[in-house]
Amino acid sequence: MSYDVKECAKRINPWIIKTPLVENENLSEISGIKVYLKLESMQRTGAFKFRGAMNYMLKLDKEAASKGVITASSGNHGLGMSLSGKLNGISCTVVMPVNAPLSKQNRAKEYGAEVILNGSCYDDAQEHAKELSLKNNLTYVPSFNHPDIIEGQGTILAEILEEVPNVDMIVVPVGGGGMLAGLLIAKDQLKSDVKIVGVEPVGAAGMKTSLENSSLYTVDKMDTIADGVAVRTPGEENFRIAKKYNPEILTVDDKQIIEIQKSLFTKSKVIVETAGAVSVAGAIFNELPKDVKTVVCVISGANLDLVQLKEYI
C-alpha cells in the first residue's frame, strides 16, 4: 500500500486546525525532563480522528460517496466522519457501542449523522456496521485500518517537528493503532530519528501482545476505563506497519490514567478524555531511557461527559 503523508498534509490543511503544542511545567517538574503536550483535543470535533476521516472523505470516489458511508466508532472517529460527511455533502451513519459517551452521540447527531447504538464495545459495533453496509448498500469505512485514515493521522508528526525539532520521543495512545502507524510512516518519509512510542491500557493491550507474538492478537476480555482505546484486535494494516518498525509499547493501568486525567484538569486546566490521558500516563509512570530529555505526548481527544469527569475526580 502506498502512503504520502506530505501530500496528505497539503490536502487536509484547509480543513484542519494546526493544534497547539505547549510545554506542561507541572509534568516537566514531576518527570525531570521537558514534557510537551500536542493538544489534538483542540482539533475540530475535539479529537485527532478528524484528520484521517477528512483525508478519507476527500479521496473517496463519487460512486462510493453517492451511496453514503457507514462506520463504527467508540466515538471520536464517528465524530470525524460525521463532520467530514457534512462538509463534503456525504450522508453518514455511525454505529457506536451502547456505552459510548452521550457527548459523542449527541455531537455526531448535531453534525447530521444517523447514530445507531449496538454492542458493548467497538468490535461489536464494527461487526454490526459491516452487516448494515451490506444490507443497505452503504460504503463501509474502517475506523483505523485503512491507508487514508492512517495517512491522515500521520500528519501530526510534521507539526510537532516544526515546533520542537529537538524532540527525543513522541508518545501516543494506541487502540486500533491508526495514530501509531501514521506516525511511524511519517517518521520514515520525513527521515526523522525521533523515537515513536505507543501506550496501551493493561486491560486492552492488543498491539503490545501482537508485537510480542509476531501475529495479530485479539484480547479475550477487555478491562479498561479508557473507552477510546478499548479495541480487542488492532487493525491488520496497522499491525503490519508496527511490526515493520517495531516501536516500544508501554502499558498503564486505569488508576494511573485517572490520576493523570485529574492532574491535567486540576493543575493545568486541560480537559482530556480517559484515552487522551493514556499517552501522558505512559510517559510519567514508566521509566524512560536516560538519553530522553524532551518528550511530546499527544493528547488524542477531549470528548467526555462532564458528569463522568466529576465521578472520576
Catalytic residue among 49, 187, 195, 208: 49
- The vertex-92 CA angle with 90 and 96, nearest 5°, equals 160
Q: Are strands 34-39 and 21-23 parallel, antiparallel or unpaired?
A: antiparallel
Give CA angle at 99 (137, 142), nearest 5°. 35
Q: How far lies 271's CA from each of 69, 275, 309, in Å?
A: 31, 12, 9
Q: Is the dihedral of CA 7, 62, 95, 121 positive or negative?
A: negative
Tell me how far apart the alpha carbons of residues 71 and 9 are, in angstroms, rounded to a whole number. 23
Contact call for residues 72 and 297 (beta carbons, < 8 A): no
- Alpha helix positions (H), the chain: 5-12, 25-31, 49-59, 62-67, 76-88, 102-110, 122-135, 147-154, 156-163, 178-189, 206-213, 236-245, 254-268, 274-285, 306-312
The question of whether 300 is a catalytic residue gets the answer yes
Which residue type sits at 253? D
120 catalytic per annotation: no
Q: Which cell numbers in the block locate residue 151?
A: 495517512
Give the residue numbers annotated as catalytic, written as ranges: 49, 300
